[in-house]
Amino acid sequence: MRHSSRLDYVPYRLSLVPKLLSTARPADVVLLHTSKSYDGKVSLGIEVNVIPAVIATVKQRGGLIIGQVNEQMPYTFGDGEIDLDVFDYVIEVDTPIDAHPIPPLNDVAKEIGDRIAFKVLDGSTLQMGIGAIPNAFLSAVAQERTNLKVWSEMFSDGVLELESAGRLDQDTLIRASFAFGSHNLYEWMDRNPRIQMLKTEKTNNPAKVADQPMMTSVNAALQVDLLDQANASRIGNKIYSGFGGSTDFIVGAMHAKGGQAFIALPSWHPKANCSTIMPLLTEPTTHFQHSAIVTEQGMAEMFGRSQREQASSLIANCAHPDARAGLWEAGRRLGFVE
């Protein structure tokens, strides 16, 4: 969708999208991909997300609710369970669910993952995205920490690794809004009472995130500047991922008791051949005020540091060696470092 001429982007935090879909952008027809039925219900399976809000709006407006019932969609418990009598039409299919192969853990991802895992305490609640760095982080955590919990917008195979390693708190449900991973992950999710799939307005509500014990948020960014501002949504004038849910979790984690919010990224963009740490963002800011920024070069603590301490630490600890001289010079010119 990033390169589609039909794309018309509506900037919105993910936690507020259900409100958007019930007010300014209501729907009249919704086509849902569901599991097969059990006891008169189907499940939205691997993705609950904003769909319950759409269903409620369409139902209220007297629109059409159509279900594509798939034998191969996992049945998951929680907010995605829907009574069959809600549907106006049902289409039966037997189609494999798209899977996301587990990416290999390169050295950069491993280094970043290890650095963040070192800061995680036993009993922490985890939120992370998808990709090599989150998987490397979870793999490292699985070697060292116990009694962990999951409250996340999404999860992938790294959470299955934690469960298999016995690192998760067995008295706390795994709670998320969607999952994307391997077929092994989907088989594990099917009718698993340990997993509760929730609607976005719950998982991404910063107040609910802040209620989770030692909430630890790990998110990616495209660029970070010397003021601890991160761009995770745009490359030039093109949408990369939009706001998504990272802002919701960063705000929630920073308000949680014992909470931490990490931004993880490589220090250098190989395709663009440039530093990811820059003097000032030239793109819109997606989020700011984090606990720490982490690259394969090191970690820069942000919380409680002055503007000058933040900028100096980012250059010295996170920036690629080839970019440091230019960043020191630009930082002095801007008055951010001495």
List the chain domain ranges: 14-93, 107-334
* Full-model pTM: 0.94
pLDDT at 272: 87
Pick the CATH number of 107-334 from 3.40.1080.20, 3.30.460.80, 3.60.70.12, 3.40.50.10330: 3.40.1080.20
pLDDT at 132: 87
Q: What's domain 14-93's architecture?
A: 3-Layer(aba) Sandwich (3.40)
Residues of the chain with pLDDT under 70: none
Count the Cβ atoms, other than its own, within 10 Å of residue 148.
25
Cα 169 to Cα 188: distance, rounded to the nearest angstrom = 17
Cα 218 to Cα 271: distance, rounded to the nearest angstrom = 23
pLDDT at 238: 84
Of 81, 111, 153, 163, which one is the catalytic site residue? 153
pLDDT at 24: 92
Q: Is 309 a catalytic residue?
A: no
Residue 27's SS3 state is coil
pLDDT at 33: 98
Pairing type for strands 287-288 and 292-295 reads unpaired
pLDDT at 167: 97
